[in-house]
Amino acid sequence: MLLMVSVQNMKEAKQALKGNADIVDVKNLQEALVGSAHPWLVKEVRDYVPQETHASVTLGVVPNQVGTVAMAVYSAGLLNATSVKVGFMKTEYQMAVDILLASKEALNGTETKLIGSLFADNSLYDGLDPNKMVDLAKDGQCDGFLIDTLTKDGRNLFDFMSEEILTDIVYQGKSMGVSTALSGHLRLDNLDELARINPDIVGVRGAVCSKGERGNSVYWEAVAKFRKELDLRESGEIAVRDLHVTINGSNGDGWVVIDGTGKSCASIILELTQQVGKDSSSFVEVVMPDILNTYDVMVWAQKSGHKVISQRKETNGSVRILVQPG
C-alpha cells in the first residue's frame, strides 16, 4: 500500500517527504468542504518533489459544470501532476460520467492520471451513492478511484461503509485494472482493517498532523510512524489475518509462473485472469511481493472458482501461491 499525505503548503510537503510519504497530495481545506490549491503551489510542490514520488492534485467537490471541471483538470495536466482527483457530492450519475469523460479527454497528451472520487458520507448531503464508485470509474474511463469522506464531526470512513463492502469495491477495482484508494479521517487504529482490504493507496491527513488534528500542520515523525505501521502489516510482521498453508492433491497438465515483483496488485490479478482464460489446464504459480497482496489473490481465486493448492512464504518476505484453475 502506498501512503498518500494531504498537504496545504510547501512546509507540509517537505514534512510529508521527510516522513517517507509515497504521494504528496495538494489540496485546500479552507475552500468549501474541500477544494483545490492555487496552481502556483501545485507547480512549486511538483518541482520540489522527486519524480519517483507522486505529486497529486485534489480538486475536491467539483461543480456540475463539464467545461469548468475539464479546464481545471487540463491545468493539472499542464502542471505535470501525477494524478488529479475529481470528487462528486450532489451530482446526478450521468452528469458525473460526462464530467469525467470530458476530463479524460482534457488529459490527452499528458501523463496525468484521472481519479474519480465519491464520498462515503454522501448520504448526509443527499449525494451520489458511493456504492456506485466502480461503475462510475468504469463509465468515466478513470485510471483509478478514491473513496473519501467530507464530514468533520469525528466520524471516519468505517462509520459509513463496512470493511466487507469496501473490500468488495477495492477487489472490483483491481480486477478492472484501476488503482484503488481509501481515505477519510483514517487513524492508526484502522490499519488492520485497511490491511485486510488492501487498497493500492491509503490517504491520510489528521493522523499525521501535530496532536492528530487535521487543522494542525503535517508533522514528519507522525508520517514516518504511519509509514512504519503500514510496512509492518505489509511484511507480515503484524498479522491481520491467518495465512494457512494447505496442500491438496490435484492433476494438471502444465505449470506457469507469474512473477509479481515490482507489479501492482491490479496488474497481477489481470495477468492471472488472462492466463487462466487462455489456459485452464495448467497450474499457475504466482510470486507475490508481500503478505497483503496475497489476500487479494485468495479472494480472486475464491470468487473465480479456482483452487489454491499451496502457499509458501520465502525468506525475502515474498509469498508463492499455487493455483489450479477451476
C-alpha cell at 300: 480472486
| E strand map for 191-278 | 201-204, 254-259
- Rounded Cα gap, residues 41 and 32, in angstroms: 18
In the annotation, is 303 catalytic?
no
Element (H, E) at 104: helix 93-106
In the annotation, is 225 catalytic?
no
Long-range Cβ contacts of 39-48 (<8 Å, 24+ apart): 39/75, 39/79, 41/9, 41/10, 42/76, 42/79, 42/81, 43/79, 44/10, 45/7, 45/10, 45/13, 46/79, 46/80, 46/81, 48/10, 48/13, 48/14
Which of the residues 27, 104, 113, 174 is marked catalytic? Answer: 27
Amino acid at 47: D
Task: Supply the Cα-derived Rg of the chain in whole angstroms.
Answer: 20
Which of the residues 14, 18, 43, 85 is marked catalytic? Answer: 85
Q: Are the C-beta atoms of 36 and 57 separated by less than 8 Å?
A: yes
Cα–chain center distance at 129? 19
C-alpha cell at 186: 483514517
CA–CA distances in Å: residue 87 to residues 58, 100, 149, 164, 240: 8, 10, 10, 23, 31
Strand partners, 13: none
- Rounded Cα gap, residues 234 and 232, in angstroms: 6
Q: Are the C-beta atoms of 223 and 15 separated by less than 8 Å?
A: yes
Amino acid at 131: N
Residue 38 buriedness (CB in 10 A; 0-12 / 13-18 / 19+): exposed
Q: Which residues are identified as catalytic?
A: 27, 85
